[in-house]
Amino acid sequence: MPTTRAVRDVVFVDGVRTPFGKAGPKGIYAETRADDLIIKVIRELLRRNPSLPPERVDEVAIAATTQIGDQGLTIGRTAALLAGLPKTVPGFAIDRMCAGAMTATTTVASGIAFGAYDVAIAGGVEHMGHHPMGEGVDPNPRFVAEKIVDTSALVMGMTAENLHDRFPEITKERCDAFAAASQRKYGEALAAGKISPDLVSVATRSAEQGWGLATADEPPRPGTTAESLAGLKTPFRPHGRITAGNAAGLNDGATGCILAAEDVAISLGLPVKMRLVSFGFVGVEPEVMGYGPVPSTEKALAKAGLSIDDIGLFELNEAFANQVLAFLDHFGIKDDDPRVNPYGGAIAIGHPLASSGVRLMTQLARQFAEHPEVRYGVTAMCIGIGMGGTVIWENPRWIGEASK
């Protein structure tokens, strides 16, 4: 007789990330290896959670969008070895473009729920300075020749311009205002001590300047206003609406988290910061990939038996301001709703592609601790080539209906 397995509750134990850097020869990680970034994250997770025996880690899943060079070679396994985990701990690499770390998380969480794992590490790394998006790829000519996608589908900035065409009510002025608010909220969260606790410092090197220490995010632009963004160039279309100011930049960085079965986390004395409720991934027209989080959120809500009104906090990846606004408009949420990205988002912090999903989760976990009156939160993002991903989490500190 086959073994009967009960689905187990999966919890988010802890999450950390490196400071995010600007991609390119002047960025803080210009001469730092991509795999060293994720190695540092794995080591920090183990350091912060000393009650977790390293040999109890059953899997290491690390995402990268461009899996070559120093972020190739089955990086989940190689980074685990280099981080000092026992050689008995396996690992793998995963790719779903921007939602790589999100997919690494949901993949190992599924294994935990099924009973294949007790504890796993999931995360992502992207060194866009070493490996620009699309490096080394060879898209099949049938995509265009057979009109499977429009040529704009393969350039994320052009898909964002297409989204403006689809929803003319999402004006450039709204996008610039949202972008300026992201910068402001990040600055306020940083000043209040809400960002730094989840950062792991990284030693950096420069042939000219010697060794340094990355302790803070490099992309934020304090003092940004909607007025200062109004005159920026629109690189994807003449007289367009997408600029460097209302979109995430090109960035380097890594993230990671520990996931566990809830009973195992408790038995090991590990913190329980969030409880996984449901998740959903969907495909949409690649030409308007920014719309992806709308149907993926609808799918995740339906799987959980929840409605959008049940969600008290939203961590939405700001690849472009307009794709967040498309989400908010669809669900009837105001542009400045305080539940949305309370610490700012990728427009300020940066978006090192495959790593960003776990940044959303780590920030949501911290917000749950601040808001015991909130029971459910969402992490969601658009994904290149026309997809969306959403994960719904429950706050273990929720104090019940009486709080409402």
User: Does position 1 have pLDDT exceeding 90, yes or no?
Assistant: no
Lowest mean pLDDT among 26-35, 204-213, 217-226: 204-213
Number of neighbouring beta carbons within 10 Å of residue 33: 16
| Mean pLDDT, residues 57-85 | 97
User: Does position 223 have pLDDT exceeding 60, yes or no?
Assistant: yes
Q: Could you tell me if 179 and 325 are in contact, meaning their C-beta atoms sit under 8 angstroms apart?
A: no
Residue 88 located in a structural domain = yes
Q: How far is it, in rounded angstroms, from Cα 249 to Cα 320?
A: 10
**Residue 334 is encoded by which pair of tokens?**
């105001």
Residue 142 located in a structural domain = no
Q: What percent of the chain has pLDDT over 90?
A: 92
User: Does position 401 have pLDDT exceeding 70, yes or no?
Assistant: no
Q: What is the pLDDT of residues 293-328, one digit of tens each?
A: 999 999 999 999 999 999 999 999 999 999 999 999
| Mean pLDDT, residues 317-342 | 98
Residue 298 located in a structural domain = yes
Residue 43 located in a structural domain = yes
User: Does position 403 have pLDDT exceeding 80, yes or no?
Assistant: no
Domain range holding 74? 10-130+148-391
Q: How many domains does the chain have?
A: 1
Q: Could you tell me if 266 and 385 are in contact, meaning their C-beta atoms sit under 8 angstroms apart?
A: no
Q: Give the three-class secondary structure for 340.
A: strand
The pLDDT of residue 134 is 86
Residue 16 located in a structural domain = yes
Q: What is the pLDDT of residues 233-285, one digit of tens each?
A: 999 999 999 999 999 999 999 999 999 999 999 999 999 999 999 999 999 99
| Mean pLDDT, residues 215-229 | 97
SS (H, E, C) the chain: CCCCCCCCCEEEEEEEECCCEECCCCCCCCCCCHHHHHHHHHHHHHHHCCCCCHHHCCEEEEECCCCCHHHCCCHHHHHHHHCCCCCCCCEEEECECECHHHHHHHHHHHHHHHCCCCEEEEEEEEECCCCCCCCCCCCCCHHHHCCCCCHHHHCHHHHHHHHHHHCCCCCHHHHHHHHHHHHHHHHHHHHCCCCHHHECCEEEEECCCEEEEECCCCCCCCCCCHHHHCCCCCCCCCCCCCCCCCECCCEEEEEEEEEEEHHHHHHHCCCCCEEEEEEEEEECCHHHHHHCHHHHHHHHHHHHCCCHHHEEEEEECCCEHHHHHHHHHHCCCCCCCCCECCCCCHHHHCCCHHHHHHHHHHHHHHHHHHCCCCCEEEEEEEECCCEEEEEEEECCCCCCHHHC
Q: What percent of the chain has pLDDT over 70?
A: 98
- What's the predicted TM-score (pTM) here? 0.96
The pLDDT of residue 404 is 39
Q: What is the pLDDT of residues 131-177, one digit of tens each?
A: 998 899 899 999 989 999 998 988 999 999 999 999 999 999 999 99
Residue 139 located in a structural domain = no
Instruction: Give the residue from 156, 182, 220 showing the smallest Cα distance to 28.
Output: 220
Residue 138 located in a structural domain = no
Q: What is the pLDDT of residues 362-393, one digit of tens each?
A: 999 999 999 999 999 999 999 999 999 999 99
| Mean pLDDT, residues 353-365 | 98
Which of the four pLDDT bands, split at 50, 70 and 90, describes residue 2? low
Which of the four pLDDT bands, split at 50, 70 and 90, describes residue 4? confident
Residue 167 located in a structural domain = yes
User: Does position 402 have pLDDT exceeding 60, yes or no?
Assistant: no
Instruction: Please report which helix (H) or strand (E) contains residue 214, including its range.
Output: strand 210-214
φ, ψ of residue 286 to 5 degrees: the values are: -55, -25
Q: How far is it, in rounded angstroms, from Cα 219 to Cα 241?
A: 21
CATH of the domain at 26: 3.40.47.10
The pLDDT of residue 362 is 98
Q: What is the pLDDT of residues 36-52, one digit of tens each?
A: 999 999 999 999 999 99
- Among all residues, which ones are annotated catalytic? 98, 351, 382
Please give the sequence-ordered ranges of beta strands (E in DSSP) within 290-354, or none if there are none: 311-316
Q: Could you tell me if 157 and 236 are in contact, meaning their C-beta atoms sit under 8 angstroms apart?
A: yes
